Chain A
């Protein structure tokens, strides 16, 4: 009889741990999803600024066609990117393309002084700051989720239950990954 009670106790305890642990994984996964949505909003905002920027520069420097095409291509790549890794790569590509566009703009003082160009420049800088802020949050949530999924005992059952380690938002060859991770 005693053994039966001990058995019931153990089963109940294991069940409790399983429920608490499972709920924690769900919560952490939701946080990762929220973190990704935050980045996505800012990436979209950045992509939305591009057509205006291209039009503004074109008004002063119509013959710099190569640069316009490059920026437009980079923007399309960003919009088609499906995973955090490819999105980070595409975002990096867009940064390089925009950098080239601004370098071109250097040669046109009237363009540089125009109201709409200054405004776009400010908006783009702001969006880049916000992408990096959103990235810090997202990567912290991914770090936390991955640590949970990859530690015992979840290491064995997380994958069958549908909890797969997530990808960081970082471009290939990017060294700005969280070296110090305070994620909590």
Chain B
């Protein structure tokens, strides 16, 4: 697992049933592109988050494939429909095989 990886997600706590909400996510990750060289001229190996998924109560909202061209600390903003109260599950898949998870509850009212 890469060091200092911390997912952050902003989801409203409440929504009307069927409302469209905006979700913002950020994860601290260096996203080493595999293009840079260190001081000895050797290429620093690629180490990025290659996939991000967001689900609500098991139904998919968005599935993003990230490439090395995504900036350090990948930020993603998207919209989701909230049909009922429930839980958002967010997952980030690292090149090294680790998966970072975060979830947020949302209530109707």
Instruction: Tell whether A pairs with B.
Output: no
**B interface list, Cβ under 8 A from A:** none
